[in-house]
Structure 1
């Protein structure tokens, strides 16, 4: 399983700082994955609680194991689609998502459903990726795996992670879903793919985008692509991990 917590450690710190969980908060974490954000929110909400929702059963199983290991009693995880899940109405005092909202088929409907779960005036804070061409982790790995054919390959794969890259669109969608006071802040932090190039390559090859870019290559082309990937990762190995530049939007809004 790809280690998103390690990859996004710098972003995670920025998100928690902006979130500002209070002891009595009831926190809703959308697209929680393996639950790092949910568990950290539960720790901060010592007299409250945190609920994480995700569609991935394996990720949630790991989230529950980690919560048990950490002896957190005020955290819960549920498998479901946040677009339509029947959350208790006006129950949560704070909402959060760490790159978990870009894949909605109906963004307005999804955010409206999330909004109904929040108390009036409650904050919703999320991180979403900026455009693909502003992500070195995307462009450099794509160029390595696709080579000279990169210009003819779609910049976004299935399950497009860049659907909320336009801040005006983000504001429009959230407003249509019933949110107010939308605020969008530029976040530039690097992502980490592993402690060294070898382990970074193993991590990259777990990613759906890498699998898709390699899928149509013949054996010889695949070998050349992996050689280019190895060289790219070596070039980004700082001695303290393999890092790539990235840009995100930190989006805050209030439930109307």
Structure 2
């Protein structure tokens, strides 16, 4: 990781002035959703009925609130919510912190934005990526959104610590409670067409309407703005989807191994509230990005670059997985079971980075 830059001159404008007159949110705030995305499935501006917002999906809050998740993220990743990046051929996953910073740098390089750019970080978690790209990219404003209040509380403490140590300027990184299905009317103060870049790392897995989420990102970006995100992809071609409205596939067209992978994958994704990844087939995200209006759509497979960490998680999961299976406690040990199943099905899914650009004109 590059050295921290010296503190720069304090910003002269407030977040409300730079982002909008939205409420000054805190971890106790609640999200106010608009009719285009609410728990009752109201119609969107396009006339299509949407599904529930992630804030209404109990599996998501269950997953991030359970003790196993909190302990694992704290103990293994220091609170980060993403995989690390390793040069191909690496076996040793340590040091973990260096690998996490390398993955954050991969996001920064993918955005490919000039200093002075403004960036949205969707599903920011505890703010690791927001803080890194603001610092290393010399961005005057990175605004992180998340639907989990406990994540935002920790992010604010980390940001305050960075400001006190001179690693960040006051107001350079802010976080707010917000839903990426509804960026403009849920109280975030975000305005359309004002952002140079948007990133979302391992969070679109939780999307209940990926098409709507991509549309919101497109509207948030300036012409020429960049969208970069990391997430999972099932190794089943998008063209075998039987019905686009529910994302189901004709399993008769799949090989026995593909059916086995799909069964394991669906349990992992459905139990953890990851509907977006449950229906992310090979080619799905690329198609939806183009339908949203994006150009220069690219995807890079980073599976081998995160494999040392995935392998380490699999090793750690062996004993609790066996215990969970023996006593039928799979949900209680969800993290261990999912880490085991994902690694066993290696090759049937991929961890990828997508990038796309909003046309300049």
Q: Same fold (TM over 0.5)?
A: yes
Matched with 2:179 is 81
**Equivalent residue runs for 1:1-256 within 5 Å:** 1=70, 2=73, 3=77, 5=80, 8-10=83-85, 11-46=103-138, 48-71=140-163, 72=168, 73=170, 74-86=172-184, 87-131=190-234, 154-156=264-266, 157-158=269-270, 159-160=273-274, 162-163=277-278, 165-188=280-303, 189-190=305-306, 192=309, 200=316, 214=324, 220-222=327-329, 247-256=350-359
Kindly report the root-mean-square deviation, in angstroms, between the aligned alpha carbons of the 2 structures.
Answer: 3.8
Quote the offset at 1:99 in angstroms. 1.2
Quote the offset at 1:163 in angstroms. 3.8
Partners of 1:173 and 1:49 in 2: CA distance: 28
Structure 2 gap segments, 5+ residues each: 1-69, 86-102, 185-189, 237-259
Distance 1:168 1:6, change over 3 A: closer
Distance 1:249 1:165, change over 3 A: farther
Distance 1:120 1:163, change over 3 A: farther
- Whether the aligned pair in 1 keeps the contact of 2:156 and 2:175 (CA below 8 Å) is yes
Distance 1:98 1:6, change over 3 A: closer
Number of residue pairs matched by the alignment: 216
Matched with 1:147 is none
Residue 67 of structure 1 aligns to a residue in which SS? helix
- Whether the aligned pair in 1 keeps the contact of 2:234 and 2:280 (CA below 8 Å) is yes
- Whether the aligned pair in 1 keeps the contact of 2:197 and 2:221 (CA below 8 Å) is yes
Residue 102 of structure 1 aligns to a residue in which SS? helix
- Whether the aligned pair in 2 keeps the contact of 1:98 and 1:127 (CA below 8 Å) is yes
Structure 1 gap segments, 5+ residues each: 134-149, 237-243
More strand by share: 1
Matched with 1:241 is none
Q: List structure 1 segments (4+ residues) > 6 angstroms apart after TM superposition.
A: 193-198
Quote the offset at 1:81 in angstroms. 0.7
Give CA-to-partner distance per residue, 1:30-87, whole Å, 9 cap, x none.
1111111111121134352101111111111111111111113201101111111212
TM-score normalised by the chain length of structure 2: 0.51
- Whether the aligned pair in 2 keeps the contact of 1:29 and 1:50 (CA below 8 Å) is yes
- Whether the aligned pair in 2 keeps the contact of 1:23 and 1:46 (CA below 8 Å) is yes
Partners of 1:193 and 1:70 in 2: CA distance: 29
- Whether the aligned pair in 2 keeps the contact of 1:22 and 1:44 (CA below 8 Å) is no
- Whether the aligned pair in 2 keeps the contact of 1:53 and 1:77 (CA below 8 Å) is yes
- Whether the aligned pair in 1 keeps the contact of 2:82 and 2:201 (CA below 8 Å) is no
Quote the offset at 1:130 in angstroms. 2.4
